[in-house]
Each structure stands twice: as structure tokens, then as C-alpha cells.
Structure 1
Amino acid sequence: MDKVLGIFQIGPVQEFISRSRKTQDFWASSFLLSYLISKAIEKVIEIGGELIYPYTNTENLSSLLQNTCTPIVPNRFVVELDKDKAVEALQEAEKSVKRELSNIANTIKGSIKIYSIPNSTSYIDKIFQRQVERFFEIYWIIYPLDNNYANSYKKAEIIFSGRKSIRDFSQIDEPGFKCTLCGEREALSDKEKASREEIRESWSKLRKLHKYEFNEKEHLCAICTIKRLYPKSIKECNEFDIGAPSTATIAVSPFLERLIENYKNRNIEKEKIEDFLRGLNEIENILDEGIEGRLLKKIRKKINNDDILKELNIDGTYFLKDTYDNLSTDHPEIKDKAEKIKNILGEFYKKFKEPSKYFAVIQVDGDNIGEEIGNLTSIDEHRKFSNKILNFSQEVLNIEDNFLSKVIYFGGDEGVIFAPLRDLLNIIEFIHDLFFNIVSSNGKPTLSFGISIAHYSHALQKIIEESRESLKRAKKIDGKYSLGFSLLKRSGETVEVAIKYKFDHISTIDFMKKIKALYEKDEISKRWWKDLYDDRLSFIGRDQELFKDIFISEVKRYFLRRVDKGIDPKPILKDIENFIGVIPIYNGFDIFMGIMEIIEFIYREE
């Protein structure tokens, strides 16, 4: 029987995922897409399709999604189909996606009982129907398979790209006040042509129904409401694995880990933690404000079943003194209680370092994956390669056991991880090594990273956008296999650096870890590279052929001024000389200074 290739994709991915105010929104968007595509894959297989990408020879993808509770299924698939069943299979897959989405939307709509006037449910229904039915775009094509698989696949991808470029368009009228998250669609209300005051009234009722899920000034559309409430409707996963910790919780997680370890080692009295929790609960009761948070997996494992430590499942903001200053300003009646909590936190800070307020978003993406697939000569080779990619994705999830981190999404060769600064460099190295051990045995394909570092209170959409821009800058480097960093300072200044991950035998991450280790051991002043920067005019602008020699000479001079006299500086100076020797001449100074600033910032703020 004649065979064809089918390619199927759900979108728009970036638009759907990036419009996220909370980490929970970001995770829910990714998980929903993975869930919907897994249902489409199930339907295609049921009608006789044989999956090529993503491919697993051990378990079905829906089970994998449920077992990991992490968005691990990419938003597209490639399948081998019988010619006479191909159209039916992909049409049914599309119907399956729409049916599952409709069921989820109806469940969430049913939980929004904000109706205050007779027959008002009909307008809520209209908003949901209009926004949900028109939001997702589903594309698919079929293409004949011949004896030259590589050629068939390349042509199928060209046709699919052409299909995507012809986006389905329908004029959408979105009246009334817009969603405060996406800013594009009409905000939900229980009355057509509702006034702003009537919308506020509707959402006040909704906030009481779904306590702590919505901020005071949020009025969301159907799509953004689905993202926010979808985690509550997920039944297949362990409740502790659903969703994602807040950015503050991720930032302070090393502090929380130190707190737990000090408690277990009896360096902190049980009564101190009890006093902290008691005071916090009193404030919660007075303000009627939720304090519960989601903890990272590694923290949860350390807490285990300890009755006291289990009570530390609170949002990261409540481990920061600033939080209580802000609460006291807005609610003077809690000032005395807030001061007591601040005093307890102050004692913790003195014993084992105050918590960080910064965290990182890591974007990961394979380089030249399409080119690698294009060189495969058979479906079996493609399936084997797909299985490697899926195994890599699954192994990446072990990051959460080994490091403080949250894998928000990892489908195929691309993913997003949130991490505190302390573990950032180790996580990048861990993912890199996994990829080259599992996928890239001969050095091809490669992997690139985009990293944004920001304060936990910075707008999440902006941080995610910066991580993507960092990845784009990395991808512009010839040959790719690169790193892009973006450091967003509270002052508004942004430090941007793009650099190769590896120059022959020199690893940028390994070099960064060596410099950071000097700071950790207090073997050199953090001021040394700033001295060099202040004196830059004395050697910048020199003849390019002489520049590197002069630059290296100046680096050594300033380094030796600030290094601890008790250590042998030769090994690290050799590393610095080798590193400067391989970075580009035309912007080598800026790259070196940028890397130094990022290392020093990570050390200072971790």
C-alpha cells in the first residue's frame, strides 16, 4: 500500500506561552499544548499512523506526559500513514485537539460562577466560544513517500512551511474592555457591553471563588483564564508536580535549602522556625492573604515528612525582609508582627547569608537539527534520531533532582528552565553534557543557550523575551554552539554578551566557574576587572595585531595587584590568557568585560 508523510502542528506557540504574568501561567500554557498534541498523536496512531517524530519505543506519549508532569511533547509531529487513511487520520487528529480543548474550556467555564443577572450565562458562553474556537491554529499536510526518504521529507517540510505562511485569518471583533494580561481579547464579564465598574464587580466575585488565583486588578479573557485555572483541572499528575514555583521562590531557594540544612544540623532552634511561622500565620489571618507557595522538587525531598519543615511550603517573598516593609506600609496594623518576623529573618541572614532576589531563565535550542534530519536516509534512521532527542528531553528532567531548578518545558531539542543563580552555570553544563552524550556523539548537531538574569519582581514577560533575544544573539554567531547572556539590573542597565560555548578545548562555562571559584575562596578582589575597565582608554584603539598582547599584559598586571599573595596565580593567569586568545579581536574587550561582570554579579547575588 502507498505510504505518505504527515506533518501536524498546533500554534501559535510563542504568542500563547509568552503572555504570562506568573510562572504558573507559563507552565500551564506549555503543558496544555503538550497535552493537546499528545491527544492528536493518540488519534493518529489509533487510525493506523506510525509515529516518526517525536518517537519512543517504550511507552505512549500521554503516559510519559502524565508520569513526568512536565511539558515534554513538542507542538508538532511527523507520522507515516497509509495513503487512503491519511486525510481521515489528520482530520480526526484536528477534531481531537478541538474536542479536548472544548472540554477543558467548559470545565473552567463551569467554575466561573460570577453570574449576577438572569440569563447572563449566555454572554459568558459567547465570549468563551468566540475566543477559544478562534485562538489555536492547526496546520497539517501530507506528502507522498518514495524510495528516497531524505528527498521526500525535505519536500514535505518545504510544503509545510508554505502552508504555515498562509495563516488562517478571520476578522475577530473583540468589543469592550480588554484582558489585562494579553491586552487583545475582551475581558470576561457577566454582562454584554459591561462598564468598567461592572467588570470589577464580576471579577471581585470570581476572586472569592478562586482565592489567590487572580490579582486584585486582573480582568482576564477566556484564553488567559484557562491558562490561570487549567492546573486545577489536571487530574493525571501528582498535585505537587503540577505548576511552577513563583520567581521569588526560585530566587530564594538556596536560602531555603540552607535554612533546612541548618535546622537539621541543629544550628537553628525549632522554636525560632515555629515563631517565624506563627507570626506569618497571624499576618495571613489579618490580611486574608494567601502565603502558600510551590517548592522546587529538591527542596521538597529535603523536607520529606518533617512536620515543622512541611510548614515552610510558603511563597519565597515571605523570606525577604522587604516584603514586610511593604506590607506594613499598606497595613499599619501588622507593623509590630512584621518587625518580629524581620528580626527572626535577620538572625537567619547572619547565620547563613541572606537570600538572593535574582533568578535566571534558560532557553535551550538545538543547532542545525533540521539539517541533521535532512541527511538521514530512511524512516528508521529518523525514528532512531527522534528517540535520542526524546531520551535527551527525559534525562534533562533529572536536573530537578540534582540542582535547584524547574523545567518549565522541554520538548524535543528545545526547552525552558528556571533556576536560582547559584546553580545556573552547573545546570547549563549539565544540559550541554547530556546533549553531547545522548544526541551528538560525533559533535553534530550542537546546542545553544539564551540566559536572562533578573530580579524576581521584574515583569516575567520581559524576562522571557530577553532570554529569547539572548538565544537569538547566540544563534547569530558563526557555527552557533554558543551562549547568550542578558543581565537585567534593577537600575535599568542591561549587560548583553554572546560568545561561543567552546573554542577548541576551552569551555566558556568552565572558565566562568574557575573565576567564580576565586571569588568564593576569597582569593582575589572582585575589584580587579573593574580597575582594568577604568583604564581601558590606555590600550583600546591600538593596532589590532598588537591589541591582544597589550590586553593580556594589562589583564595580568591588574590581576596580580588584587590576587591573594598566598596562592600561585600562574594556572589561572594561563587560563585567562588562553581565553582572551580565542575570543574575537574586534569586540574581545567587550566580551571579556561582559563575562567578568556576569560572573561577579552571579557570585554577589546568588
Structure 2
Amino acid sequence: MKLKAILHDPIDKPFDIQGHKRRAREYAQALGVEWEDIKGPDWISSCMERSLISEGIIQEFDEIRHPFAESLIRDNFLRFKNEVFEVIKDITDDMGNVLPKEDDKKFLYIWRNYQEKLIKGSNGCEWKKYISLFPADTRVPDHSIWEHAKVTSAINALWDDENKNLLQNNSLFLFSIGPVQTFISQARKTQDLYMGSFLLSYLTFVAMEKIIEDYGPTNIIYPDLYKQPLADWWLEKKKIDVINSQSVYVDQPTIPNRFVAFVPQSDEAELRHLGEEISRKVREEWGQIVFKTMEGLNITCPEDKVEKQIKRFPEIYWVALPLKIGDRDIAIEDLGEIFESTEKYRDIWQFAVDNGEYSPNLGLLYQIIYSSLEKLIGARKNLRNFEYTEEYNKKCHLCGEKEGWIKAGHGKLRVGRYIGDNEVLCTCCFVKRTMDSYLKDKFKDISPNPFEGYSFPSTAEIAISDFKVMCLDKSIDDFKAYVETFKKIVGEARTKELTVKPLPRIINKYGDFDNLEGEWFFEENLTPRQFKKQAGASPEAEQINELKEKLRNIGEKVGIPNPYYAVIAIDADSIGKWLSGSKLPDIENAYNSSVWQNLPDHFKANLKDKAPRKLLTPAIHASISAALRNYTIEFVRRIVEEEHLGKLVYAGGDDVLAFVNLKDLFGVMRKLRASFSGQIKIKDGAIDVCWENESGFVEKEGVYYLTMGRNATASCGAVIAHYKTPLKLVLDKVKEMEKKAKNIDGEKDAFSIALMKHSGQVKETICKWKYEDMDVLEMLMNFANKLEKKDDELWVSKSFIYRLAEEFERLKRDDGYLLVSEAAFEAELRRIIGRTSHGKKDARREMVENIVRDLSQLFSSMGTFLDRFTNLLEIATFTVKAEE
């Protein structure tokens, strides 16, 4: 049934609605599937997507609507019709020759590869870029045929033609795993942070496996599993050939800690069994990770102690809402106990009865059903799963909650990568740090295995990455000589333990090489104590001096390394409201423009009164999932790791956490924010910010990708810190800054940065991404570049920032706002910059005026908040040259 459901409509349906069933039959037969008009699932999913349209309306294919914005693509798509039919038929015929024979594998192959084959096979065709956007209905072109097919294949329903009755048996299921922030942020090393993120993502996928094994991946409505690395890995385990497989990126946590699914049953006992079975699978996998990891390091402990510590993790919550009660479908009245008022949904239902093309069915209630599900999971989380048991012995140095008992000397464990000198860890925190050995075996069939020799870069490695790039460009022989001298001191084997994989961008450019851990390039660490503590070596003074001399030789050519790095946390604003439908655009934006224009005025007025916004449907949910997946898979990784010196911790769709080299901070922040709304363009293979792109679609490699669109915003918290600052303090500060960004003047869509100097001084600022036509970070990057001293060129001494702050220190309120007029501020700004600028007179005057214009506009836009303004400028200069 699922195979027939996913093929019930042809992908080229919008090009000829009248003949679409004939073409669907032909394509299905070419794929070895007996076509059937799947009325039950199709009618429910169609009602979910387009029930609020009057009878008899016909519309040619001339628009594609963005599902979450007011934007659209308008074209005469029918000019491609004949070529579309010909190419799709040829590709479908060819695909029929390579399909697996078993129906379940055939379904998986088609779900994952059909779109990829169409894109690849339509090279040179102008319409190729629209393939992923082909609408399911030309009258309501705000969701694609792919989303419609996915939802249809997920619904368990049947049309009883004899009794003219639509029968269905489904439930909506929501699963959540945690704790998220506390578990992830309990970290002393970057490896702890990353592995905590990966573990939650991986265990959530383990929970999904029960659903996708029994019912298929399309039953997961959120997140979208299409092109997800873990999903591609799962397919490959099933011996499914995956085109453009993403499984090589399986080490990147891209699955959020919750999922929503359709399950084809409504019996309470069966649903309870399903929830318990999924929970059991997750706990069993966690137990296996613990057992195998500790066994690999030959660490033994009384079983009851381990069991006591691991049973509290993870916290699992799930709820299921049956869409069938007894022999009837769930009705609005059944949800009255959850909502104070259901009048809105009653009115919409009645409107569909009176005016819709078809009689409404269960599909029209999806928004209230999903909202009920969210309320139920909220109530469920308020109930405790178990009683907390206090552990009174020495606490774990990582979480500070459970008893710490694992330390260097246990089994094969010694001071180094996995454990620090005098460090003591509990079972959970230790396994979180060391589970890469388990993952290496788990993903052994992937080539190259992403966990082979795995290491996550330290804060020192992130900070020093630009220094290493300069070494490889300008001083490669000195760099190699330094590493060789280090090897002579600590030995080949120990040096290998102290090497790490370079950042992805460095590997892509220079290949892999002996990359000594970053902290060993800071002269302050070249001491007998550090060698003993970190490397177990006792070098002579002459050896250390020789090493220092070689490091200084490098420094003379490329400069000394910067000890500061940055952490970025970017989070979608109001994602809960998007998922609940309350942020969707006005209802008219669901319709083709001509269709809306030609609807009777009384119909439109009545509809807007009953449903002012678009209704949430599974297709819209699937579209949100697809947009967030595109953000994560297509853009985030590319921005952070390929175009800049950064390393992702996680990218779960609506949130991103990453480490970046200080010089790339503003560039990464700016691109991450713009790409979330799709306000970018791909130019010469690189991502450029393009605020003018308000379509919500991004063309990449000849294909349009759906994004969240211009109405969706994101806020960012960032921290600049010294590599020796305790990571826990930095992570806590990042979350604090993210919250501040989301509360700027009662609004969101902003960034907040804290500069945590090694001296203990902290500078903070909060700012909007844009003020009218000013792109703040772009302006600041240009401004900061003028603060570097250049021979025979224009530049400004950064001392002007401190002079400005001093001048107005006594002329500001206690809360940091300036008391003098903006005109007086601008005049003083001009005077100070003029006195601290350098270069030829005429050019210098022009530079000063440009800087004054930009900074005056920024100061005014920030509400004349002097402290925020001067801190922002100081942070901008710090990204160019970090100085205490």
C-alpha cells in the first residue's frame, strides 16, 4: 500500500492535471508497481492541504508559492511540458531497471533516489531547478508534490466504496529525549560537548528506527529524514544504493532530540506497547554503548554502581494521540478538555462544509490535533519518571552530580586524551567522552569511517587555526621542523596521541598531516611541568630552549598565534510558533494569485474571518522539516567547515552550535543568519549574503532549495574567550548571550556578543542584524579592516574607541545611554577619528567621513546606548587583532 501511495500522483502532475492519472499509471508500471487510485490516504492528505477552496476552480501551472512567506515564483511553466514528460518518462523507465525486487526496498529506493535521479537526468533543462518545488495542486501551490506523496504514504486509510465511507486508523506520536542543555553543557573539553550532542542525536535516531523499520521513513513528519546522514547510513545497512549519500557526514549531529510521526494504529494498548518498545530500544543501545566502551578500555566496576548511574539517562517522554475513538474519527469536541475554546476550529469546519470543493474529513483538524499533542507532551514532562537518588561520595568533575570513580590507572586508562591528571568522572560523563571507540565500530561500513582516529579540536586548536594556515603557506619547513623536534622530546608514539585532525577547511586545502595539538604552539606551555602533565615526558632545559627557538623562527615569519577563539550559538526565533502554525502568513498566500483574485468576495471575506492565517497541515510540517534540513545539510556545514575555519558541534535544523576561529567570527555569524531565511546566493561556488533575495528559495548547483523564508528570523549568542578559560564558563555565557539577543528591546532577530578577556574583564554588546539598509556585521568587518596599521595606506588607530568612551563617560546615564544630542556625538566622533587617522590628506578626509557616517547611523539605530556601541566597536577590533 505504501508503494502505491507514494506513486499515486506523478511528479509532473501540475503540467497536465487532466491526464495525471494516466501518467501515474505509466510511471508506476515502469517501476514494476501496479498502480491504484489510493482514495483513502489521498483524500485525507488532500483535505489537510487544500480543503478551503470552492468547487469547480481550474488553474494552469504558473506559480509556485513559498509555504511560509508571501513570496512566489511566477513563470510560464507549461512551456516546459513536453520536455518534462519526455525526460521524466525516460528517467523513470531507466530507474525501473535498477530497482530492488522486494516492495519494501523498492519503496525505500524510490523515496530516497527518485528526486536525485530526476535532478541528475535533467541536466541542461531550464526547469531542472524547479523539480523539488513542483506543486501538488496548481490552485494551492504552496506545498510540493513530494510533500504530498510523503504524507499520503504515511496515512493508513481506506475508502469503503460500497458504503461510501472513509475509514482510517492512525495516531499522531511525539517522542522526546533529554535532558538537552544540561547534558550537553556539562563539558570540560570540546570532546565532551560534541559527544554529548552526538549522543542525544544518535539516540533519537535509534528511537526513530522502530518507526521507520515498521512503517517507513515517510511516517516521520518532523524532522525530515530525506538526505539525513543517519538515515542514509540506515538505508545502506538495508543494502539500498543511495545516490549522493550523506552517510560520510554521519558524525555530525543533525537530528533534533524529538520527532513527530504518524503511526497506523489507534488502540491504546498497541500505542503503549509501541512507546515502551521504543524506550526500551533506546535504553538498550545506551547500555551497549556503556558496556562496549568500558570493556574496550578494560575498566571494571560493580554492576550495580554502573546501573545506578546510567539508569537516570536518558530522560524519555512520549505521547500518542489516537485519531480514532472506537469506530469513529476523533472530533473537535473530543479535544475540548485540552483547549479552553474550540470555536475557531468549529467555524473553519463549518465553512468547509458550506463552501469547500469536497466534504471535510479528519485532515482538516490537523492543526488542533498537533497543538493538542504539544500540550500533552508538556503535561507529560511535568511528571517525574523516577526519584532522584543522592550520591554522597566524591563528585564527578564533569557533571558534579554523580559519584566520580573512573580515573587514570583504571584498566588501560592513562592521562591524556580521555582523562586529565587528578580528574575523576562518573560512568555517564566518562562514556560520553570516550564513546568514539564504540562509534568507530558502529559505523565501520562507512568509507572513510568518520570515527577512525577521531578527535574533536580543542579550544586552542580552534584559536590557532589561522596561524597554522599561515605556517603552511609561508613557513612549512619551519613548521615541520618544530613538530620533528617535539617528537624527539616526547617520542613518536606519545606525539601521535597529541596530534589531532586539522579543521576541515585546512584538510580540504592542504590534506592531512602531522598536526600537533594547538596548545603546543603557545610558548607559555613549553615548560617541564606541562610536558610531564600532558605528555609524560621530562625534557632537558636545552631541549625546551631548542623548541622555543624553532617556535620563534616561525613567529618571525607569520607572527605569534592568537590565544582567543569564538563560540557561536544561533537559534531560530519562535520555532514553536512556526511548528504550531501561528506564524504562518495570511490565508490568501496559500492560493495561486489568479485563483484568489477570482474567488467571490463573500467567500474571501468569510474565509479570512474564520481562518486569517494559513492552516497547519502535515505538508506544511513536512515543508518546515525540509527547509530546516536544507539549512543544516546544504548551508550550515558548508559555511562553518568548508568556507571558514570552524567546527560544528551540532546543527539540528533550528539551532546551531559551532566553534570558529576569531577572524572568521563575523563572517560565519552573518552567513548563518542570512542563510536561515534564504537570503543568500551561491556565487562562484561560495555562499554570499544577499538580503535582496526575499523569495525564500536558494539556487544551488542548478536546483532551488526551500528555506524558511524572509519572515523567519534567528538570534545568535557568541562568546570570544581565551583558550584557557574553563569551557563550562564559556558555554554558560553563550546561552546567556543567546537569551539576551532574543530579548533585545522586547524583540528578537539580533545578535549578542561577550568578550571574555583572560584578565577577567568582560565586554558585552547586543545589536540587531540590520538597521534599515545597514548590514551591521558587514559594516563592522569593513570598519575593523581600517584599524590595522598599514604602510603608506589609510588606517585609523583603534585608540579612538577608548578616547570616545572616555570623552562621554560623564555624559551618560547609569544605564549606559548618552545624555547629549546625536549631533554633538557625531561632531565629537568626527574630531576624534580625524585625530587618530593616518594617510594622505584628501583620501584620509573621505575615509573619515565614511566612517563617521556609518558609525553615527549605527549609534543612532542602537538607541544612543554608548556602552553597547563602544563595546561593539572594541569587539570588532578584537576580531582583527586580539590584545588585552
* TM-score of the two chains, using structure 1 as the length reference: 0.89
Q: Hey, what's the Cα distance between the residues in 1 that align with 2:857 and 2:761?
A: 30
Bigger drift between 331-340 and 212-221 goes to: 331-340
1:38-84, Cα deviation, whole Å (9 max, x unpaired): 11111112232711110133467433684312011111111112223
Bigger drift between 234-243 and 491-500 goes to: 234-243
Aligned residue runs from structure 1 range 409-488, under 5 A: 409-437=650-678, 442-477=709-744, 478-488=746-756
Unaligned runs of 5+ in 1: 116-120, 190-199
Aligned to 2:423: 218
Aligned residue runs from structure 1 range 137-286, under 5 A: 137-145=315-323, 146=362, 147-188=364-405, 203-206=408-411, 208=413, 212-235=417-440, 236=443, 237-239=449-451, 242-263=454-475, 270=477, 272-285=478-491
Q: Hey, what's the Cα distance between the residues in 2 that align with 1:210 and 1:103?
A: 25
Q: Hey, what's the Cα distance between the residues in 2 that align with 1:572 and 1:443?
A: 29
Q: Give the letter aligned to residue 389 of structure 1.
A: L
* Alignment check: 8 A CA contact 1:144 1:152 kept: no
1:353-410, Cα deviation, whole Å (9 max, x unpaired): 2111010110010001121222252101110111110110112111211111000111
Matched, 1:397 2:579: no
- Tell me the CA shift for residue 540 of structure 1: 2.9
Matched, 1:128 2:128: no
CA RMSD of aligned residues (A): 2.5
Q: Give the letter aligned to residue 420 of structure 1.
A: N
Match of 1:502 among 755, 770, 781: 770
Matched, 1:106 2:291: yes
* Alignment check: 8 A CA contact 1:539 1:551 kept: no
* Alignment check: 8 A CA contact 2:413 2:419 kept: no
Q: Hey, what's the Cα distance between the residues in 2 that align with 1:188 and 1:592?
A: 49
Any idea what SS the aligned residue of 2:764 has? strand
1:496-516, Cα deviation, whole Å (9 max, x unpaired): 111211222222211211211
Aligned to 2:260: 78
Is the alpha carbon distance of 1:321 and 1:59 closer, same or farther for their aligned partners in structure 2, counting shifts above 3 Å?
closer
Match of 1:324 among 523, 526, 534: 526
Q: Give the letter aligned to residue 276 of structure 1.
A: Y
Is the alpha carbon distance of 1:58 and 1:279 closer, same or farther for their aligned partners in structure 2, counting shifts above 3 Å?
closer
Aligned to 2:826: 552
Aligned to 1:195: none
Matched-pair identity in %? 28
- Tell me the CA shift for residue 451 of structure 1: 0.3
Q: Hey, what's the Cα distance between the residues in 1 that align with 2:319 and 2:188?
A: 35
Match of 2:800 among 502, 506, 528: 528
Aligned to 1:358: 564
Bigger drift between 276-285 and 106-115 goes to: 106-115
* Alignment check: 8 A CA contact 2:573 2:713 kept: yes
Aligned to 1:192: none
- Tell me the CA shift for residue 128 of structure 1: 1.4
Any idea what SS the aligned residue of 1:418 has? strand
Matched, 1:62 2:231: yes
1:402-447, Cα deviation, whole Å (9 max, x unpaired): 1110001111210100011011111111212211216656422101
Q: Which is higher, the Rg of structure 1 or of structure 2?
A: 2
* Alignment check: 8 A CA contact 1:86 1:142 kept: yes
Q: Give the letter aligned to residue 579 of structure 2.
A: I
Residues paired across the two proteins, number:
574
Q: Give the letter aligned to residue 252 of structure 1.
A: I
Q: Hey, what's the Cα distance between the residues in 1 that align with 2:421 and 2:322?
A: 55
Q: Hey, what's the Cα distance between the residues in 2 that align with 1:506 and 1:604?
A: 24
Q: Hey, what's the Cα distance between the residues in 1 that align with 2:453 and 2:646?
A: 13
Aligned residue runs from structure 1 range 46-57, under 5 A: 46-48=213-215, 50-57=219-226
Matched, 1:347 2:553: yes
1:274-328, Cα deviation, whole Å (9 max, x unpaired): 43122201221399674222321111223326xxxx22x1100111111114648
Aligned to 1:599: 876
Aligned to 1:295: 502
Is the alpha carbon distance of 1:114 and 1:87 closer, same or farther for their aligned partners in structure 2, counting shifts above 3 Å?
closer
- Tell me the CA shift for residue 94 of structure 1: 1.2
Aligned to 2:782: 514
* Alignment check: 8 A CA contact 2:173 2:260 kept: yes
Aligned to 1:22: 189
* Alignment check: 8 A CA contact 2:483 2:516 kept: no
Q: Give the letter aligned to residue 484 of structure 2.
A: R
Q: Give the letter aligned to residue 294 of structure 1.
A: K
* Alignment check: 8 A CA contact 1:207 1:213 kept: no
Q: Hey, what's the Cα distance between the residues in 1 that align with 2:631 and 2:733?
A: 25
Bigger drift between 151-160 and 80-89 goes to: 80-89
* Alignment check: 8 A CA contact 1:44 1:92 kept: no
Q: Give the letter aligned to residue 404 of structure 1.
A: L
Bigger drift between 500-509 and 26-35 goes to: 500-509
Q: Hey, what's the Cα distance between the residues in 2 that align with 1:476 and 1:484?
A: 10
Is the alpha carbon distance of 1:27 and 1:389 closer, same or farther for their aligned partners in structure 2, counting shifts above 3 Å?
same
- Tell me the CA shift for residue 4 of structure 1: 2.1
* Alignment check: 8 A CA contact 2:173 2:263 kept: yes
Matched, 1:489 2:757: yes
Matched, 1:315 2:517: yes
Q: Hey, what's the Cα distance between the residues in 2 that align with 1:447 and 1:56?
A: 23
Match of 1:10 among 177, 202, 223: 177
Aligned to 2:860: 581
* Alignment check: 8 A CA contact 1:39 1:62 kept: no
Match of 2:620 among 381, 399, 415: 381
* Alignment check: 8 A CA contact 1:53 1:77 kept: yes
Is the alpha carbon distance of 1:143 and 1:605 closer, same or farther for their aligned partners in structure 2, counting shifts above 3 Å?
same
Q: Hey, what's the Cα distance between the residues in 2 that align with 1:547 and 1:408?
A: 45
Any idea what SS the aligned residue of 1:135 has? coil
Q: Hey, what's the Cα distance between the residues in 2 that align with 1:591 and 1:543?
A: 9
* Alignment check: 8 A CA contact 2:754 2:763 kept: yes
Q: Hey, what's the Cα distance between the residues in 2 that align with 1:533 and 1:595?
A: 12
Q: Hey, what's the Cα distance between the residues in 2 that align with 1:105 and 1:509?
A: 45
1:66-122, Cα deviation, whole Å (9 max, x unpaired): 43120111111111122235433332221211111111111012134345xxxxx5x
Q: Hey, what's the Cα distance between the residues in 1 that align with 2:493 and 2:500?
A: 17
Q: Hey, what's the Cα distance between the residues in 2 that align with 1:142 and 1:156?
A: 7
Any idea what SS the aligned residue of 2:397 has? coil
Q: Hey, what's the Cα distance between the residues in 2 that align with 1:110 and 1:564?
A: 65
Is the alpha carbon distance of 1:553 and 1:71 closer, same or farther for their aligned partners in structure 2, counting shifts above 3 Å?
same
* TM-score of the two chains, using structure 2 as the length reference: 0.62
Unaligned runs of 5+ in 2: 1-167, 234-245, 324-361, 444-448, 582-614, 679-696, 698-705
Q: Hey, what's the Cα distance between the residues in 1 that align with 2:247 and 2:184?
A: 20
Is the alpha carbon distance of 1:328 and 1:17 closer, same or farther for their aligned partners in structure 2, counting shifts above 3 Å?
closer
Aligned to 1:196: none
Q: Hey, what's the Cα distance between the residues in 2 that align with 1:283 and 1:473?
A: 48
Q: Hey, what's the Cα distance between the residues in 2 that align with 1:177 and 1:346?
A: 44
Matched, 1:87 2:254: no
Q: Hey, what's the Cα distance between the residues in 2 that align with 1:490 and 1:61?
A: 40
